[in-house]
Amino acid sequence: MRLTIHIAAIVLGLLPFQLHAQDSWSLERCIRYAWDNNLTIRQQSLETVRSEAMLMQSRLSFLPSISASFGHNLNWGRSVDLQNLEIIHNKLSQSTSASANASIYLLDGLSKLNNLKSSRKSVEISLQEVERLKDEISISIVKSYLQILLSKEIEASAIESLNAVTAQRERTKLLVEAGNQPYSSLLEIESQLASERVQAVTAGNQVITNTLALQQLLDLPYDPEFRIEIPDTDCLLPESTDMNTEEIYSAAQSMPVIQSARLALDKGELDLRTARGQYYPKISLSASYGTFFSSSTFAPDGSVYPFFEQFRDNINPSISIGLTIPIFNNWSTKANVENARAAKESLELDLKIKQQTLYKEIQTAVTEAGTYLRQMEAALANMNSMRESFRYVEEKFNAGALNGTDYTVAMSNLKKAESEYLQAKYQYIFQLKIIDFYKGVPLSL
């Protein structure tokens, strides 16, 4: 009974590892994981937190500035009796004061308002930058994912070819023993078999390399048991697709890279307004409430004026309105305005450059998609032709009508045709995904 329990415990303990080993990663899962764990994205998210803190500070700048002070002074030289203004000689006197002050700008050339709007734009820019980084990592993951699928198909083709040549080697051996083929044919087939083994190992190594590249993109430690889902890639080849560059470019205007540039330009305009606000007069409102105590102050009967009674009787509230007119400040305001204007013009050019770059990228993607489609169709026709040709050569070789060299050449041509088709196929699929990305379609397989 105990042995049964121990065995069950061991099986249950190994179950999570078995499930982990059998677990596979879809493209969507890879992208979501990267979004949640990529260090660059997380670092940019912290910039968003900082921008939100600056926005809060800009909002709080509209509140009045309030301060309080408290002081105590000892004086043993000459002092003045504040009650009758008589001079007191060489007598220790003490004084205590307390006050509260508040001030606020009623008019400041809209500098605070524009600064608040600018801080909001900074938050929006930070959010768009996070989305831009997500887009970049998503494209990299799609490319790496497709590289694994391509290498797996090449590996499967190499293994299939290895198995076919292995079987052919056995048939050739029988034909040689029966005298229907010369011994040289067997040597040629064995040479081809050795070459196929090398190609199969190379293809398997390429799968490992591409899988490692994807794990590195995901910031995962290398795991030889890491597996991805294998979709039906033939379903990813549409009969027709929208390749209108202008329409794709119009849809791509909502991409984070363009939105971020637009928001930066809006922020530049607000920063320019903030700088110009320094030219305008400022009106401020201030209020204070204070009182004091002095040991040199006496009551009318000559007794010391009590501390709390002095604090009550010496209350001194005040309200003031101030007007500050800028006249000359060493041209610093003019320099700030010129710098802000130059920064805005630079941001305008930056937006145009990014739009221009985006248009060129879309043009390239559309052109390459058409190129790879034609290349894939031609490679498919060539591969089908090579398969039929190889089938004919294989039949003649098995019948002893051809030597091993002709068989090897025919197989090499077929392998080359299959490889060219697979390369064109996955390049075309990748370009289709790029076009979907520009259209705003979620990346998936």
What value does the mean pLDDT of the chain take? 85
pLDDT band at 241; cut points 50, 70, 90: low
Which are the contacts of 128, defined by CB distance < 8 A and separation ≥ 6?
256, 259, 260, 263
Q: How many Å apart are CA 38 and CA 160, to the nearest integer?
A: 38
**Mutual orientation of helices 27-37 and 39-60 as an angle, nearest 10°?**
50
CB 417 within 8 A of CB 379: yes
pLDDT tens per residue across span 181-218:
788 878 888 888 898 899 999 999 999 999 999 999 99
State the CATH architecture for 23-63+110-280+332-439.
Answer: Up-down Bundle (1.20)
Greater confidence (145 vs 411) lies with: 145
Neighbours of 11 (CB within 10 A): 10
pLDDT band at 84; cut points 50, 70, 90: low
**Rounded to 5, what percent of the chain is helix, strand, coil?**
70, 15, 20
First to last CA, the chain: 50
Spatial CA neighbour of 412 closest among 385, 388, 386? 386
Rg for the chain, CA atoms, rounded:
41
pLDDT over 80 (residue 151): yes
Comparing 171-175, 282-286, 346-350, 355-359, which segment has the lowest mean pLDDT? 171-175
pLDDT over 80 (residue 294): no
pLDDT over 60 (residue 302): yes
Q: Which pLDDT belongs to residue 88?
A: 63
Greater confidence (314 vs 34) lies with: 34
Spatial CA neighbour of 192 closest among 36, 51, 403? 403
CB 35 within 8 A of CB 149: no
Comparing 50-64, 202-216, 285-299, which segment has the lowest mean pLDDT? 285-299
Domain ranges in the chain?
Answer: 23-63+110-280+332-439, 75-107+281-325
Neighbours of 286 (CB within 10 A): 15
- 174-183 long-range Cβ contacts below 8 angstroms, 24+ apart: 175/398, 175/400, 180/400, 181/400, 181/403, 181/404, 182/403
Say what the pTM is.
0.78
